[in-house]
Copies of this chain bind each other. A is one copy, B any other.
Amino acid sequence: MGALEEAHLAAAVAAACACEEEDDDLELLAGEGEAAAAAAADDAIEPAVRALLVGLGEDELREGLRRTPKRVAKAFRDGTRGYKQKVKDIVQGALFPEVGVDKKTGSAGGTGGQVVVRDIEIFSYCELCLLPFSIECHVGYVPSGGRVVGLSKLSRVADVFAKRLQNPQRLANEICGALHSSIQPAGVAVALQCWHIPLPENLECKSLQGWIRTSHSSRSGVFEGENSTFWSDFMALLKLRSIDMEMDNHSVSISWCPLRSLEVPLLNGHCKKSAANGIISPKSVPTPSNMVSAVSSMLLSLGEDIQRKELLGTPQRYVQWMMRFRACNLDVKLNGFTLNNFSVYERPGGDKADHEAIRSELHLPFCAQCEHHLLPFYGVVHIGYFDNGSGEGIDRSHFQSLVHFYGCKLQVQERMTRQIAEAVYSVSHSGAMVVVEANHICMISRGIEKIRSSTATIAVLGQFLTDPSAKACFLQNVLDTPGLAI
């Protein structure tokens, strides 16, 4: 550990405390008063989450799930904290005098000098299905009255409205309206690019690949009207960052939320009939009424009006999503394929240097549900195994079924990696190696918000363990094969 200052570290590490629970991520964000109110709300949310776990066929008391209701309750509380936040508190005190120029001369500084903050990365929650969605938010305003607002406040105000149950257009409108009211500028422009996770069977391997994309904007004051030069300047300043709102602008359609899309007749071409990753799932799954009731009680605890029209089908949709990850999901179970279909392979001779015999199936997409947070993690699986010397490998679709079987449930990445490796090893006795690369929504939408982090796990069995060059050969193969960026 090099020049580690042991004493310094020991002091930091040794100070054990009686704190029994994790998830201080979120505790940090809640004030004392809020915590008390939230505790009452949690009382209703936690039993609801337990009901969901039981409905999914899980043992709610097993170690990995024991504190899941608490974590989920905290995440929902944090994800809807925006209802309690006041825009005026944020903007007040952050308005600074800034002279401009005479209006006849032009627009600059505190009078007309447009300010645009681009690429503010935020998350919100789809009111139709309760899953988080990803947003690139771009905010512009035209100062008026010789005053400007602190730049960070544009982002903070956007987040107030993102931390609610939302749809993209209302989010754009609310950010725009709130900034206009609180800053009182000549105008406000808001442009959002939003991504919604698709149904698990439509996820492709790459980051945001296969996600449902939509763009929305909202404008007030000098940005309004077809010929607003401020609006065209706003668009031009976005284009400097390669953001082209005009190219992909379309209204919220029923295809925005894939759970909503399931309920209505498919529009021509909007929804793929067959899944992108080769796994065919049923269009809809059963939604037990006790689970639906549980989600309704969660919404009530969050202070939502469950009678407002956008939320009417939300509990069913959330249960639809969750049920796709239920234990022993017979509908997708190995897709008619069983492990017996694998041939039992023998390594040719004992030649450890014979890396021709190593076969690999790479970039097999998956979408699992993190059992700690009930949020998706998704990515790709790379599988390595030894050929039986016949030159014939196992068909890719078999591996995809295997990945789907172990992936499409409440999981943790470490366990899924091991399970897939063991399954492959059970039929390819010489050796099996699995690398899983995944993005965890819980690492993004909760607490720490590490948007670009990506987790890799590895399992190395049999020959791959004893022959480092075989392992290196497989890893090099993964590296050399395109399409791996997740």
Contact = CB atoms under 8 A, between A and B. Distances in A.
A428 to B, nearest CB: 13
B119 A4 contact: no
A101 B2 contact: no
A96 B412 contact: yes
A442 interface: yes
Interface residues of A, number: 134
B422 A108 contact: yes
Nearest to A97: B63
B114 A457 contact: yes
Interface stretch (A36-44, A83-91, A278-286, A341-349): A83-91
A162 interface: no
B109 A415 contact: yes
A92 B22 contact: yes
Given A98-B412, A108-B422, A152-B447, A21 B93 contact: yes
Provide the main secondary structure of the chain A interface: mixed
A170 B435 contact: no
A306 to B, nearest CB: 17
Interface stretch (A52-60, A261-269, A393-401, A471-479): A471-479
A436 to B, nearest CB: 10
A12 B241 CA distance: 32
Given A22-B94, A454-B241, A464-B106, A88 B152 contact: no
Contacts of A105: 425, 461-462, 465
A69 interface: no
B9 A115 contact: no
Interface string A418-462: 100110010000000011010010110011111111111111111
A457 B98 CA distance: 14
Contacts of A155: 443, 448, 450, 453
A330 interface: no
Contacts of A152: 25, 442-443, 446-448, 450
A107 B151 contact: no
Contacts of A94: 22
A181 B229 contact: no
B22 A240 contact: no
Name the 8 nearest CB pairs between A and B, nearest first.
A109-B418, A108-B459, A106-B461, A22-B93, A108-B418, A22-B94, A4-B173, A236-B475
23 contacts: A1-B219, A3-B169, A5-B173, A12-B86, A12-B160, A13-B87, A16-B92, A17-B92, A20-B93, A22-B150, A24-B89, A96-B412, A101-B418, A107-B459, A109-B415, A115-B457, A116-B458, A121-B452, A148-B412, A152-B446, A159-B448, A233-B471, A239-B479
